[in-house]
């Protein structure tokens, strides 16, 4: 399983309700599933919205151990 984690430092005055609407912790069954999500047009619209609210963004994907 692949977990996608996004850490964001928001700009002062960012709308908390908008951030809550677009945030999500995402787990994917495999790398191919994550890559499909990463290229998805709807996901990239959310990514652009978040980018407009952020000072800094850090992303990481890692594999969770089975079990």
Structural domain boundaries in the chain:
2-63
Q: Which fold has domain 2-63?
A: Alpha-Beta Plaits (3.30.70)
User: Which tens digit of pLDDT belongs to each residue from 30-63?
Assistant: 999 999 999 999 989 988 988 999 999 999 999 9
Strand order in the sheet with 2-10: 26-28, 2-10, 54-63
pTM: 0.78
> Does residue 67 register a pLDDT over 80?
no
25 or 11: which leads in pLDDT:
11
With b for 16 or more beta-carbon neighbours within 10 A and e for fewer, the 37-50 pattern comes to eeeeeeeeeeeeeb
User: Which tens digit of pLDDT belongs to each residue from 16-37?
Assistant: 888 888 777 889 999 999 999 9
């Amino acid at each position: 399983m692949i977990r996608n984690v996004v850490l964001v430092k928001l700009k002062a005055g960012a709308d908390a309700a908008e951030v809550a609407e677009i945030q999500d912790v995402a787990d994917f069954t495999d790398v191919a599933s994550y890559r499909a999500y990463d290229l998805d047009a709807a996901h990239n619209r959310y990514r652009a919205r978040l980018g407009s609210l952020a000072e800094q963004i850090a992303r990481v994907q890692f594999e969770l151990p089975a079990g």
